[in-house]
Amino acid sequence: MDRIVLTGMRFEGHHGVTEEERLLPQAFEVDLEVEADLAAAARSDHVADTIDYAPLVEIARRLVEDGRHHLLEAMAGALATDVLRYAPAARAVTVRVRKLAVPVDADIDHAQVELRRERPTDAAGASGDDR
């Protein structure tokens, strides 16, 4: 399957389990891998034949900067849902969310959650896209 891959998007947000974590903005990093058939775009060279990635960046930005989640898992799940809602041509999305300042007593680069969500298919095996 073809993929659009956006890595290392950095945003600040108020997320975390404790109230102290949510008090001040913290750095988060997001990766998206959107699986879709990109053959038409490869042939035509027209943005209308692909999934425009500028709105994908804005979806991630809005969720991190304006959202409020206790868990990275919840943030990643909401992001996957929003991406699949925005892009009907997407067959699946993989989301990675990293918290760059982890409140643990250890030398740690980051904490990361990765999840993959597929678009549901009907019994005949067709995608949920009606096109």
Neighbouring CB atoms inside 10 A of 95's CB total 26
Active site residue 99: yes
- Among candidate residues 65, 99, 105, 129, the one labeled active-site is 99
**What sign does the CA torsion over 59, 64, 66, 68 have?**
positive
State the pairing for strand pair 92-99/3-13.
Answer: unpaired
Strand partners, 12: 27
Assigned token pair, 76: 């990643």
Catalytic residues: 99
